[in-house]
Amino acid sequence: MWAFLKKDILVLLRDRTELAVLLLMPFILIVILGFSLRGLLMGDTEALNMQVALVQHDDEQAGIEQFTGELEAAAVPDQAAEQLEAAAGQVSPSSLLQSVLSSPELEEMLDVMELDEEAARQALQNEEVTAILTIPEDFTLLALRNMLLGEGPGSELELTVADTTSTRANVFQDILTDFTRSLNFETAVARAAAAEGGAISAESPAVQLGGVETVSAREPVNSFQYYTLGMAVMFVLFVSSTIAGKANVERQQHVFNRILLTNRHPFVYLSGKVLSSALISFCQLFVLFLFSTIVLQAFEWNSLEFWLGMAGISAVLAVCVGALAALLTSLTMRFNSDAIVTVFAGGIVTILAFLGGSFIPVSEMPGFLQAFGDWTPNGASMTAYLSWIQERDMTRVMDPLSRVGGTAVVLIAGSLLLFPTRGGD
């Protein structure tokens, strides 16, 4: 088996063009796609550059005044009323929202302009803005009533977007959801504080709101990271067709007959293919990740845990590529033709890569395609990598990774079944 492994690797190493395609092409594509498609992904905040129209129906000052007036009129104890009035000034949701939207973190990606209702609708139609945020009438008053007194239904922000699937709109919605969630939390704290008669700390609200990090619970992925993974899981598939292509050369040049004559079990020959492809795939993935880390700073380099996780996922993917190489080899030998390898490298890889999200994020695709992508080895490992990068939680990685491993087992079984024990007729 080691003899086969050594030979396969030597043969590939001597083929400079093939090596260049396997190693340089993906890197070039990462750079090109990474630069040109920046902005499709959440991590590239500076490139999101979102225009948002703000339609203001609320009069904050009047709302606060009315709220304090109501407090005085009602039978609220004086001390409590004073505290609530002070709180009203501090937690006024309208001000908080404004300060979130103009916070330095969001400033880079958000461009908020105040328009009237009609102008905003026009702008949305003309795609000058991605979304309209409408602050309804009496927003401040209703919100304060609900927040501080626990009375009434509160109020709702209204978000209008042209395209609900666009990443930008989703990001913005995330920001708002996060804002209201934090606000509700603050409200609960404030109410508890008021009830106990304690003071509300002046700096408590709003400070942590709206940072990019809190847009999503996940770490954002930037386009270089994304396309490094996308191209890596795509080009790793070419290792299998390359190895099967070399097997076809063995057949054409009759070396394969010579191997048959040694009476080695096909299992040994095929495991050579599996092992060499796996080893080459693993090295290819490693080199790509390393490149991207050094040249594009796509990944952090100083976390052992991170790299161990990446290595683990890569190892499973590499074995699956080995299994794929074995299957392609078996088919080539059985049908005495490399047509299947040509079709695989010339079409199937691209389809798999597309389904697996190598070119555009799976989340941008229709649902049924996403399901297909989840079952491709490249798509599943892409999910595993992304999940590891964002969440650092191996238990979340296991699910897609087990699909990759399962696929490998099925492919190896298939290749053993199909392998011929005599030469071609």
Partner 1 sequence: MLETEELTKVFKSKAAVDGVSLYLDKGESVGLLGPNGAGKSTTISMISTLSKPTTGDVRLDGRSVVKDPGKMRKVLGVVPQEIALYEDLSAYENLQFFGRIYGLSGSRLEQAIQQALELVGLKERQKEIVKTYSGGMQRRINIAAAMMHEPELIIMDEPTVGIDPQSRSHILEMVRQLNKEKGLTVLYTSHYMEEVERLCDRVYIMDHGTIIASGTKDELKSILSGEETIWIELDRPYPELFAELAAHPEIVQAAETEKGIKLIIPKGKRILGSIFQSAERHQAQILNVNVQTPTLEDVFLHLTGRKLRD
For residue 112, give the H/E element and its range.
strand 110-114
Q: Which of 188, 207, 255, 339 binds partner 1 (CB under 8 A)?
A: 255
Identity of the residue, 134 or 241, whose beta carbon is nearer to partner 1 in the bound complex: 241
Identity of the residue, 257 or 402, whose beta carbon is nearer to partner 1 in the bound complex: 257
Q: How far is the CB of 2 from partner 1 (least distance, A)?
A: 8
Q: Which of 114, 163, 254, 343 binds partner 1 (CB under 8 A)?
A: 254
Which 8-state DSSP code applies to residue 154? -
- Cβ(279)–Cβ(315) below 8 Å: no
Identity of the residue, 259 or 298, whose beta carbon is nearer to partner 1 in the bound complex: 259
Within 396-425, the residues that bind partner 1 by CB under 8 A are 422-425
Residue 257 binds to partner 1 (criterion: CB under 8 A):
yes
Residue 57 binds to partner 1 (criterion: CB under 8 A):
no
Q: Which of 316, 343, 340, 328 is nearest to 414 (CA)?
A: 328
- Cβ(181)–Cβ(206) below 8 Å: no
Identity of the residue, 180 or 336, whose beta carbon is nearer to partner 1 in the bound complex: 336
Question: By rule CB under 8 A, what string of x and - marks binding of each residue 4-33 to partner 1?
Answer: x-xx--xx--xx------------------
CA distance 191 to 148: 6
CA distance 37 to 197: 54
Helix axes 304-335, 223-252, angle to 10 degrees: 30
Residue 261 binds to partner 1 (criterion: CB under 8 A):
yes
- Cβ(162)–Cβ(127) below 8 Å: yes
Bridge-based pairing of strands 110-114 and 158-161 is: unpaired
Q: How far is the CB of 22 from partner 1 (least distance, A)?
A: 16
Q: What angle do CA 281, 287, 288 make, to 5 degrees?
A: 90
Identity of the residue, 37 or 270, whose beta carbon is nearer to partner 1 in the bound complex: 270
Q: How far is the CB of 404 from partner 1 (least distance, A)?
A: 31
Bridge-based pairing of strands 50-56 and 110-114 is: parallel
Give the three-state DSSP class for 420.
coil
Within 265-284, the residues that bind partner 1 by CB under 8 A are 268
Interface region with partner 1, contact rule CB under 8 A, candidates 142-150, 182-190, 247-255, 352-360:
247-255
Q: How far is the CB of 242 from partner 1 (least distance, A)?
A: 13
Tokens found for residue 330: 């078996």
Interface region with partner 1, contact rule CB under 8 A, candidates 20-28, 260-268, 327-335, 408-416:
260-268
Residue 264 binds to partner 1 (criterion: CB under 8 A):
yes
Residue 334 binds to partner 1 (criterion: CB under 8 A):
no
Which 8-state DSSP code applies to residue 219? P
Identity of the residue, 81 or 260, whose beta carbon is nearer to partner 1 in the bound complex: 260
Interface region with partner 1, contact rule CB under 8 A, candidates 223-231, 253-261, 279-287, 386-394:
253-261
CA distance 357 to 351: 10
165: β partners? none
Identity of the residue, 302 or 421, whose beta carbon is nearer to partner 1 in the bound complex: 421
What's the sign of the alpha-carbon dihedral 384, 28, 239, 277?
Answer: negative
Identity of the residue, 268 or 343, whose beta carbon is nearer to partner 1 in the bound complex: 268
Q: Which of 76, 260, 283, 311 binds partner 1 (CB under 8 A)?
A: 260
Interface region with partner 1, contact rule CB under 8 A, candidates 72-80, 187-195, 206-214, 246-254:
246-254
Q: How many CB atoms lie within 10 A of CB 269?
A: 23
* One-letter-per-residue 3-state SS of 33-71: HHHHCCCCCCCCHHHHCEEEEEEECCCHHHHHHHHHHHH
Identity of the residue, 148 or 325, whose beta carbon is nearer to partner 1 in the bound complex: 325
- Residues forming the site for partner 1 (CB under 8 A): 2-4, 6-7, 10-11, 14-15, 250, 253-255, 257-264, 268, 422-425
